[in-house]
C-alpha cells in the first residue's frame, strides 16, 4: 500500500472565542480619565450641530407659546362669585358637606370645592345636577347682555310682516 499524506482538515492553531484582549479599547470611567486621554491625543471630541436638546427641532414653538400666553382670548371662563356663594349657602341650608353633595351628583368632592371657590370652569350639566339635589335655582353663567333696543326700532317692526305663506281662515 502506498504511503500518502492525507490532510484531515483540522486547524490546530489557537482561536480565541469571546473577548480578545489585543483589540480591546480601554475606555476611561471618570472625567479625569477622559481629560487625561484627551491630553495624550487618544480621544477626540466633536461638537454636533443641534445636539443636546429637543428645542432645536422645534425652534418656532417658543415664539408661539409666548403669543398664546399674552393673548386674552384663550382664558377660560371661571365660575361667578354669585354662583359659588349660592351653591355654598344652599348646601349649608341643607346641612350637607361638600362630600355629601359630590356623592349625590356623582362627582368628586374636589369639583364641588372648585365650584365653591370659583376656580372651576362652569359646566351646565353639573350646575343642573346641583340645582336638582339642592332644590334651589342657581344663577347661571349667562352670555353678556345684548344692547337694549330703542322704541323707534320696536315701532318699525310692529307693522312689518315676516315672510311665509298667508294665514288661512
Q: Write down the pLDDT at residue 3.
A: 66
pLDDT score, position 114: 93
Alpha-carbon distance of 26 to 31, in angstroms, equals: 14
Closest to 90 measured CA to CA, from 123, 121, 112? 112
User: What per-residue confidence (pLDDT) applies to 159?
Assistant: 56
**Which are the contacts of 88, defined by CB distance < 8 A and separation ≥ 6?**
116
Which residues does 135 contact at the CB level (< 8 Å), separation at least 6? 90, 94
Please tell me the pTM assigned to this model: 0.43
Rounded to 10 degrees, what is the CA torsion of 141, 147, 148, 149? Answer: -140
Q: What pLDDT shows up at residue 144?
A: 54
Residue 139 confidence (pLDDT): 87
How many of the other CB atoms lie within 10 Å of CB of 116?
A: 20
Instruction: With a cut of 50, list the residues of the chain below it in pLDDT.
Output: none
pLDDT for position 140: 81
Rounded CA-CA distance 89/94 in Å is 9
Residue 65, pLDDT score: 59
pLDDT at 143: 57
* Segment 36-70, tens digit of pLDDT: 888 888 877 777 766 665 555 555 555 555 665 56
- What is the pLDDT, as a whole number, of residue 135? 93
pLDDT at 63: 55
- For the chain, what percentages of helix, strand and coil (3-state, to nearest 5) are there? 45, 0, 55
Amino acid at each position: 500500500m502506498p504511503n500518502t499524506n492525507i490532510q484531515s482538515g483540522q486547524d490546530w492553531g489557537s482561536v480565541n472565542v469571546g473577548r480578545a484582549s489585543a483589540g480591546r479599547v480601554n475606555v476611561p470611567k471618570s472625567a479625569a480619565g477622559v481629560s487625561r486621554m484627551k491630553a495624550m491625543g487618544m480621544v477626540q471630541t466633536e461638537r454636533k450641530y443641534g445636539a443636546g436638546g429637543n428645542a432645536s427641532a422645534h425652534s418656532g414653538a417658543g415664539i408661539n407659546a409666548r403669543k398664546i400666553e399674552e393673548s386674552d382670548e384663550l382664558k377660560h371662563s371661571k365660575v361667578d362669585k354669585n354662583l359659588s356663594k349660592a351653591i355654598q349657602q344652599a348646601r349649608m341650608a341643607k346641612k350637607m358637606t361638600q362630600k355629601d353633595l359630590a356623592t349625590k351628583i356623582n362627582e368628586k368632592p374636589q369639583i364641588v370645592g372648585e365650584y365653591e371657590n370659583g376656580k372651576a370652569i362652569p359646566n351646565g350639566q353639573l350646575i343642573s345636577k346641583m340645582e336638582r339635589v339642592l332644590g334651589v335655582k342657581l344663577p347661571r353663567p349667562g352670555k353678556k347682555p345684548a344692547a337694549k333696543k330703542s322704541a323707534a326700532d320696536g315701532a318699525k317692526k310692529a307693522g312689518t310682516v315676516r315672510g311665509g305663506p298667508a294665514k288661512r281662515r
